[in-house]
Amino acid sequence: MDAVAYLRVSGKGQVDGDGFKRQASVIASFARSRKIKVLEEYRDEGVSGTKPLADRPGLSRLLERVLSNGVRVVLVEQASRLARDLIQGELILRELRDAGLVVIAADSGADLSAGSDEPTAKLIRQVLGAVSEFEKSALVSKLRAARARIRRTRGRCEGVKPYGESEIERRALARLKQLARKPRGGKRRSLREIADTLTAEGFPTRSGRPWSRSTVHSLLGRTLKA
C-alpha cells in the first residue's frame, strides 16, 4: 500500500525543534509495521491547527498530489496534527473523504476519516449534511423556476455544451489523457504541470484563459468516467 504523510507544527519557533522529527519517526514506524510505503511527506510549518485547508499550503499540495497520482491513504502522527479545532477538523476530513482519501493516525492506527462517534462531531456532520441538502434543494428549485420561465416565453433550455464538442477541444482532451498517464519509469505529472503544458501547447479553454489546476481536475475526472 502506498501513502503520503502530513506533518504540522503550530509555531514558527517549533519549525527547527524536534516536532517534525518526532512526527516523521512515529509515521515511519507505523508504516513499517503495516507494510505501507510512504511516497512523499508534506509539511505545514508554523500553521495553526485551527486553520482551514485553504490556508494550509502543505495540505493543499498533498491534496493536489493525491488527486493526480491515485494514492488514497494519508498518514498523520495523531489527530491533533490534522486539526486542533473540532469544526475545522470535521470540515477538513469531509473534504478529504470527498476526495476518496483515508486518513490514519499513526499513534493509534485509527481511521480518522471514518468519523468520530463523539456527540459534538456527529452533530457537526449532521448540520453540514443538512446544509448540503438544503443547498441542493435550493438549486433544484432555481433550475425548475428557470425552465418554467423559458417555457412560458416559448424558449428552450439547452444548457452549456460539454467541453470536447469541437475538433480542437477533442484533441485537447486526448492530450490531457496522455499527460495524465504516468510515464514509464518516471514521475506522474501534477495538475499544475499538466495545465502549464496544455497552455504552452496552445490548447484553448472555454473561457480563453490559461489552463488551471481546477479545470484539469474537472475534465480529467469527466474523461476517466467516460
Q: What is the CATH number of domain 2-114?
A: 3.40.50.1390
What's the whole-number average pLDDT of the chain?
A: 82
The reported pTM is 0.53
DSSP label of 54:
G
Which range is least confidently modeled, 69-83, 141-155, 170-184? 141-155
CA end-to-end span of the chain, whole Å?
Answer: 27
Closest CA to 135 of 145, 125, 127, 124: 127
User: Predicted confidence band at 129 (pLDDT cuts at 50, 70, 90)?
Assistant: low
For β-strands 37-45 and 102-105, DSSP reports them as unpaired
52 residue type, one letter:
P
Beta strands 73-76 and 2-9 are: parallel
For 94-117, what is each residue's pLDDT tens digit?
Answer: 889 888 999 999 988 888 887 656
Instruction: Count CB-CB contacts under 10 A for residue 107.
Output: 17
Confidence class for position 27, pLDDT limits 50, 70, 90: very high
Q: Grid coordinates in use for 85?
A: 479545532
